[in-house]
Every structure is written in C-alpha cells, then in structure tokens.
Amino acid sequence: MTKEKVTLDKIASKLGITKVTVSKALKNQPGVSEALKKQIIELSNQMGYVTRKEKPIQTVYKLGLIVPKRFFLEIDDFYTKIFYYLNRECALLNYTLNLYILEPKEEDALNYPLSFTQDQSELSGLFIAGEIKSDYLKLLLNLPIPIVAIDFYKNNLRLDYIVSDNYRMGYFTTNYLVEKGHHTIGFVGNPNYTSSVMDRYCGYFRALTQHGLEIRKEWHIVNNDESGKYHFDFSLPDQLPSAFVCYCDMAAHILLSKLQINGVRVPEDVSLISFDNTEISQTMVPALTTMHIDRFEFAEKALKRMQWRLQHPDEEAQFVYVNSKLIERDSVKPLSDSPPLIPDPDYAVGDR
C-alpha cells in the first residue's frame, strides 16, 4: 500500500495554522515564534515530512562581445561563427550576450559604440574577437570588468587570450608544401595586419629558411586593405612560385580568381594552401586545402575562461590554445621531384 504523501497543507491543517507559517518555520525564517516553530518541526518529523532541497541559485551574467567591423564581414564567416557558438553556449546557461560592432571611426577616436555606452554598467564581462588597436584595448582595460580576447594577442598587455598556434601552423603548412616537392613558395597576407598573420608569416619564414629555400619579395602578395576589404588591385609576379601560403581562405579565394583571370591553373600551375576552413574553402573550385581551426572550441574555451576569471579576478592571465588540423582537398599538386625530408620534432604534424 502506497504511503500517503505528507504536505505542508496537512501539517498546517493539523495545527490550525497557514501553510505559509509552516513553510517559514521549516526554513527557519523570521515571523514565527520559537514555541510554534518547535511544535511545527516536531509534528513534521512525526508525520514523516521530507524537506525539499532548495535548488542552488545560479548566477546569471550579462556579457558583451566587441568585434571590429573589418572582421565581421558578410563574405567571411569566421567571426560570425564564433559569435553564433558563443551566443548559443551563453543561452544554455541563461547568460545574456550582447554584440557590439566597432566602427573604424569609433576605434580611431577611442569612442565606445553607442549601444555599448548604454549597456556597459550592466555588463559582468567582455569578450573581444578580432584584433583591435592597442590604444583602444587599453581603453577597454580601464573598465572594472574582466576581458577575454579571442584570436589575437598583444605582447605588452596582460589579459586572457584564446588563440590558435599560428606560428606552428605557418611552419606546418609551408613544410607540407616542401614535402610535396615545392621549392618556390610565396606568401599572401600583410604580416602587420594582425598578430595571427604575423605569426603565420614567421612560421612560413622559418620553414623556408630551415630548408634553405629562397624567399623573394615579389612572391609576397597583399590583397586586402586596412579596413579588411579584399581587392584585385595587385600584380602577379612575372615568375610565379609553384605554391602560395595564403593567410586565410578569403585571401586564397581572391588570389585564385586573379590567377584564373590570367590563365593560370590551380593546382596544375600553382598550388594554394590556407587557414581557417571557412565555408568558402569548400565551395571554391578547386576545393581548398586548409588548416581547420575549431570555432566552437574558440567559443567554448572563451566562455569557460570568462567564468573562471569572474570567480578569480586576481589570478595571473593566461594564453589558452585551440586545436587545429589540416584538411586536404584539391588545391595542392604534389610535384614529382619531391625529396624525403627529416621533420622538425618541435613542429610535428597533428592536432595541438
């Protein structure tokens, strides 16, 4: 026979008091005399009342994400995907995430976006995705809230950075081309544009230097401006290298179009390798060999770091790395004179 459930109403009815009074007594809240409280507790024990455990109160945070406009472009989904995943993970925790697009004129004048000015007093923490100027980052660091930077870093400013190992990837992609028999390799991208491009270029430079291969100025192409917009206002070298390392998929896409317009075939005449594994890398013809950088992992690690930082505001800042792996498609042609290479143990192939 099933035992009848003991409720607050039944205890209250036995004593001729209200349910609210019983609840206050069992929770040890004010408003009930000590004598009555003792009577209620004794009766509840006799009747076998089981106190319901209160659910722990969950801290709900309101967070912000600032992205410079030059990185939040319709033609490149790298940062939009990071925002999508970050917003989704915040929603699962009942956190609020507000997006603020930073206009170039606001960044230059050290002004906050209007909506950010209105919201900043309510924010518990701030993410920054995409490299911003040092002076603007210093402005944001004056805010009394933790900041987590995504996909860039500044050597002179201490805060939590979530980054991919761009130096290692730059080395690996270049070494991959050398292993495929390519001995003349160019680079597409402005190393001064972001820390990511600089590190990829330095990795490229090390790989070529290590293998004793030529680095020629005319094989270095820049096909975007400081605003992030890509263009065709660049010249192809008279003597093309056999391959290019492109700093991102969109830069590779623009170069591919320029090559095809000039009758150069990819990969038959020139091979291309890139970074990010965005949607365009799969729709290009030929499909692009590229380094996959996990944007969900960017979002996940950024949010975990923010949660940790909110609880440990005085702990040392850290670099947190996300994984990467090569996605081989159709844009790299192996050359027949490929020599065997001894891999550098410090820059081994594989996920990080």
Distance (Å, whole) CA 274 – CA 127: 26
pLDDT at 23: 81
**Together in a domain, 235 and 329:** yes
**Together in a domain, 280 and 187:** yes
Domain membership of residue 56 (yes or no) is no
**Domain span at 201:** 166-293+325-347
Length of the chain: 352
pLDDT at 3: 59
**Together in a domain, 35 and 74:** no
How many structural domains comprise the chain? 3
**Together in a domain, 287 and 229:** yes
The CATH number of residue 84's host domain is 3.40.50.2300
Beta bridge partners of 150: 129, 162
pLDDT at 342: 45
Lookup result for tokens 């607050």: 8
**Together in a domain, 180 and 221:** yes
Sheet holding 324-327, edge to edge: 220-221, 185-188, 243-246, 271-276, 289-293, 324-327
pTM (two decimals): 0.78
Residue spans of the chain under pLDDT 50:
1, 55, 342, 345, 347-352
Domain membership of residue 228 (yes or no) is yes
Tokens of 217: 């100025």
**Together in a domain, 83 and 141:** yes
Q: Could you give the count of Cα atoms lying within 13 Å of 91 in the half-sphere of its Cβ?
A: 7
Q: Give long-range contacts, CB 8 A cutoff, 24+ apart: 138-145.
A: 139/110, 140/66
Distance (Å, whole) CA 1 – CA 3: 6
Domain membership of residue 245 (yes or no) is yes
DSSP string, 305-319: HHHHHHH-TTSPP-E
